[in-house]
A and B are shown apart, each in its own frame.
Chain A
């Protein structure tokens, strides 16, 4: 199966790889995984004073589509409010990356990671 150019681009030049301080009260961490493929995804968001997400980082161990999905998501999240972030759907991720049907679950994992990160952040408030 061939990866789309966009997946390859994110896979070869992943954006925002790294970590934020998970103990920072303004940082939310989402850890999700897919047992079937063994993928593990960590997504972190940092909320600014104005209620806007000012930074997002990820670290993913998994296939190219899982890495590309989480990389893309970090780009999408910056500059959004939590409500806007929460409304990001996996279909938008899959469409942007032109994921084939067998890789849709990677975009679902990325959406789950956003929700988990927001939930973690809210639990700190």
Chain B
């Protein structure tokens, strides 16, 4: 849980983005390689390592999907690609709906809203799964979350193209 330790945040799926960002800015400033320009080579090296570790940790922690995968990894859980066929069927129905209404901005916006609600629901589920250490369900939830997140991005692009 090194990444969480760096930021002194309790390992969990639900974290405060604000708190993370604030701590990131403080740590980044503290270990910025420019501040060590006149230090010994050894100190410069340490600062560089710390600074890149701070950055890597931030990139993982601020992203829902990467944070969830990191938590699974730290708990020794292997992420499989298996996705429930019924869920995939529903994904396909979403794709068909988007295809059928590709020029109808209002319809696309309402599908986008539906997807956003699903994403929020998945986030709640993931918070619960990680709190209860139900890693099997978390693995399954994160796979489905990735699918819906991709679809959500795709529909956002389509809406932007229509605007």
Tell me which of A35, A37, A42, A59 contacts B83 (CB under 8 A): A35
Separation of A116 and B92 alpha carbons in the complex (Å): 16
Interface size on B, residues (CB 8 A): 14
User: Taking A33-B83, A61-B95 as contacts, is the C-beta distance between A38 and B88 under 8 angstroms?
Assistant: no
User: Taking A33-B147, A35-B147 as contacts, is the C-beta distance between A40 and B85 under 8 angstroms?
Assistant: no
8 Å CB contacts to A: which residues of B80-113?
Answer: 81, 83, 85, 88-89, 91-92, 95
Q: Nearest Cβ in chain A — how far from B48, in angstroms?
A: 31
From B145, which residue of chain A is reached at the shortest CB distance? A35
Say yes or no: B85 contacts A31, CB within 8 Å: yes
Which chain B positions have C-beta within 8 A of A34?
81
B interface secondary structure, majority: helix
8 Å CB contacts to A: which residues of B110-163?
Answer: 143, 146-147, 150-151, 154
Q: 1/0 per residue B44-66: CB within 8 Å of A?
A: 00000000000000000000000
Count of A-B contacts judged by CB separation below 8 Å: 37
User: Taking A33-B91, A59-B92, A61-B92 as contacts, is the C-beta distance between A38 and B85 under 8 angstroms?
Assistant: no
Interface size on A, residues (CB 8 A): 13
Which chain B positions have C-beta within 8 A of A33?
83, 88, 91, 147
Q: Nearest Cβ in chain A — how far from B147, in angstroms?
A: 6
Say yes or no: B143 contacts A31, CB within 8 Å: no
- Whether a CB of chain B sits under 8 angstroms from the CB of A102 is no
8 Å CB contacts to B: which residues of A24-51?
Answer: 31-38, 40, 42
Say yes or no: B146 contacts A38, CB within 8 Å: yes
Q: 1/0 per residue A76-108: CB within 8 Å of B?
A: 000000000000000000000000000000000
Say yes or no: A40 contacts B92, CB within 8 Å: yes
Which chain B positions have C-beta within 8 A of A36?
81, 146
Say yes or no: B150 contacts A38, CB within 8 Å: yes
Q: Nearest Cβ in chain B — how far from A123, in angstroms?
A: 12
Say yes or no: A32 contacts B151, CB within 8 Å: no
Which chain A positions have C-beta within 8 A of B91?
33, 40, 61
Residues of B within 8 A of A (CB): 81, 83, 85, 88-89, 91-92, 95, 143, 146-147, 150-151, 154
Residues of A within 8 A of B (CB): 31-38, 40, 42, 59, 61, 116
Known A-B contacts: A31-B88, A35-B147. Give 12 more (CB < 8 A).
A31-B92, A32-B83, A32-B88, A33-B147, A35-B81, A35-B143, A35-B146, A36-B81, A38-B154, A42-B89, A59-B92, A61-B95
